[in-house]
Amino acid sequence: MTPSDSHSTPDIHIYETLELVARDLYIKALQEIPPDVRAGLSHGLETEKCDGNQTAGRILLVILDNIRVADEQKTLVCQDTGLPIFKVLVGERLNIDIARLKESLRRGCVRATAERPLRSNTVHPLTRKHTGTNTGHGIPVIKLDVVPDSDLIEIQMAPKGSGSENMSFLKMLNPSEGVKGIKKFVLQCIFESGARPCPPMIVGIGLGGTSDVAMSLAKEASTFRHIGSRSSDPDVAKLEEELLGKINETGIGPQGLGGTTTAMAVNIEWAHTHISQNPVAVNIQCWRGERAEVVLDGNGKATWK
């Protein structure tokens, strides 16, 4: 078998399908809260009921009612339509034009903004001039990787709102500070954030790598990890559990008005790092945990998750 024989060339219409899928992913993520997030909110409500915290319980009831209304009326859960972030896994057996794939995703975001319509948030960082399309230079953010021995395209999309994204932190710790230093820094970030990221939150932490890798890992952890999942590394999983407990002991609670449900999850992604450094990054997701997923085969057939 020649190299060309081992790879399949998708139909030219795959790029049109990708555009439509990107449009629908954006809208779906804004309208349909994922099941694991709903379960996390419901668990928080039961916890607050058991603790007798009526204020926290009422807030969580309002949040869950907000989700119910969005389901029934097919409307957005929140007015912040975020910045579009895509995680794309391309099977190595597909001869995909990556530039065209990225352009298709961008065009899909433009269509979602115009056709739904959605509030556009994208501006120039200096002039603050608005693009009006939820796209622009470097936007949408597209994280792309290749999957061995696959002929599928797996796409996850998350519209990252500003309230929680503003609560992002990075610190290059001294290795001698150890796990204690990591815990201290994360808790400092949580106290500094307070109610601004709309708790109960999903706390994403990136450990190791370099400074930019740590930030990317933190975004991966807050945005694409499911509530209730645990790291496959036992030491990291233990730290996830410990930090979740300590964050919920802060008493910040839902919307910062007190309670034991400050965070629904602490997710940690990690990479090996240099012997003389220990980067730690924190990225927070608000209670909505918005994301949508789809898998395409080489013919463009979509399977929604």
Q: If DSSP codes are grouped into helix, strand and coil, which group holds residue 41? A: helix
- Amino acid at residue number 298: G
Residue 89 sits in the same domain as residue 201: no
Beta bridge partners of 89: 145, 154
Residue 178 sits in the same domain as residue 245: yes
Query: E strands within 5-164?
Result: 83-91, 141-147, 153-160
What pLDDT is recorded for position 8? 63
What pLDDT is recorded for position 14? 93
For 11, which DSSP code?
-
Task: Please check whether residue 133 lies inside any domain of the structure.
Answer: yes
What pLDDT is recorded for position 177? 98
What pLDDT is recorded for position 209? 98
C-beta separation of 48 from 259 below 8 A: yes
Residue 142 sits in the same domain as residue 171: no
Residue 152 sits in the same domain as residue 170: no
Residue whose C-alpha is closest to residue 67's, from 75, 59, 79, 58 = 75
Q: Is the CA virtual torsion 274, 280, 285, 287 positive or negative?
A: positive
Would you say the pTM of this structure is higher than 0.75? yes
CATH at residue 24: 3.30.1330
Tokens of 200: 């109960």
Where in the sequence is the domain holding 92, given as residue range(s)? 14-30+77-161+290-304
pLDDT tens-place string over residues 5-22: 456 666 668 999 999 999
C-beta separation of 25 from 294 below 8 A: yes
Residue 280 sits in the same domain as residue 235: yes
What pLDDT is recorded for position 3? 36
Residue 154 sits in the same domain as residue 19: yes
What pLDDT is recorded for position 111? 98
Query: E strands within the chain?
Result: 83-91, 141-147, 153-160, 168-173, 201-209, 263-273, 278-285, 292-296, 302-304
Residue 26 sits in the same domain as residue 139: yes
Q: How many independent structural domains does the chain possess?
A: 2
Residue 23 sits in the same domain as residue 154: yes
C-beta separation of 244 from 230 below 8 A: no
C-beta separation of 183 from 238 below 8 A: no
pLDDT tens-place string over residues 231-261: 999 999 999 999 999 999 999 999 999 999 9
Residue 174 has pLDDT above 60, yes or no: yes
What pLDDT is recorded for position 249? 98
Tokens of 250: 């802060």
What pLDDT is recorded for position 72? 97
Task: Please check whether residue 182 lies inside any domain of the structure.
Answer: yes
Task: Please check whether residue 2 lies inside any domain of the structure.
Answer: no
Considering the chain, what percentage of its residues have pLDDT values greater than 90?
94
Residue 20 sits in the same domain as residue 145: yes
Task: Please check whether residue 24 lies inside any domain of the structure.
Answer: yes
**Mean pLDDT confidence for 40-57:** 97
How large is the angle between the packed helices 35-51 and 54-73, nearest 10 degrees?
150
What pLDDT is recorded for position 2? 34
Residue 115 sits in the same domain as residue 224: no
Residue matched to tokens 């949040």 = 63
What pLDDT is recorded for position 11? 63
User: How many residues make up the chain in this entry?
Assistant: 305
Residue 130 sits in the same domain as residue 171: no
What is the Cα–Cα distance from 113 to 252, expressed in whole angstroms?
A: 35
How large is the angle between the packed helices 178-193 and 234-248, nearest 10 degrees?
40
Residue 272 has pLDDT above 50, yes or no: yes
Residue 142 sits in the same domain as residue 193: no
